[in-house]
Structures are given as C-alpha cells and as structure tokens.
C-alpha cells in the first residue's frame, strides 16, 4: 500500500526553494518591484511634508527623516540585489 500526495501548480512549477525565491517567476523580482514602489511613495510623502512645513521645525525634520529613510532603504535594496548577483555567480544559483 502506497500513499500518493496530491500535487498542485506551485509544487510542480517550483521544485526547489531556490527556484521559488529567485527562479523565473520567483518572489525576488516582485520584492524588488514592491520595495521600489514603497521607496517612491515615501520619497513623495517626505517631499510633500517638507514643502508644506511652512518653517515648522518639527514638520521639516519629519520630511527630512522620510527622505533619509527612503534613501537608506534604496541603498539596502540595491546592496541586496548586488549580493544576490554575487551569490548567483559564486554558487551558480539563478535568481533573476
């Protein structure tokens, strides 16, 4: 007597964790897109807060804080992409 497990579209498309994370249609590409859109929204929000601060130091600091956070976030995203490319070359794992 043998037990057969049901198969679904995800288990047949992504056979390994590496293909799920970074392969064709993997999660990594979507993470970069979503993170870039979030960065854009935070940059725009910080700019609007800064423009409407009208000399209020608290509002100006909040606007500068948002812009700084967006730039640091972009740097982290960019570095993670570079690290993923290095891992791809060194280990032969295809991410994007």
Residue-wise pLDDT tens digits, 1-32 = 566 656 666 556 666 666 666 655 667 778 88
Residue 81's pLDDT is 81
Query: Residue 66 pLDDT more than 80?
Result: yes
- Phi, psi dihedral angles at 77 (to 5 degrees): -65, -45
Tokens standing for residue 85: 């490319």
Q: How confident is the model at residue 82 (pLDDT cuts 50, 70, 90)?
A: confident
Query: Residue 43 pLDDT more than 60?
Result: yes
Query: Residue 46 pLDDT more than 90?
Result: yes
Domain definitions of the chain by residue range = 22-91
């Amino acid at each position: 007597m043998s037990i057969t497990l049901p198969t679904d579209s995800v288990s047949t498309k992504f056979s390994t964790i590496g293909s799920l994370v970074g392969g064709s249609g993997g999660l990594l590409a979507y993470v970069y897109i979503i993170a870039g859109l979030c960065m854009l929204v935070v940059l725009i929000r910080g700019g609007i807060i800064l423009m409407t601060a009208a000399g209020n130091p608290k509002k100006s600091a909040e606007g500068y804080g948002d812009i700084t956070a967006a730039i640091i976030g972009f740097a982290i995203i960019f570095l993670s992409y570079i690290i993923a490319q290095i891992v791809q070359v060194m280990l032969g794992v295809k991410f994007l």
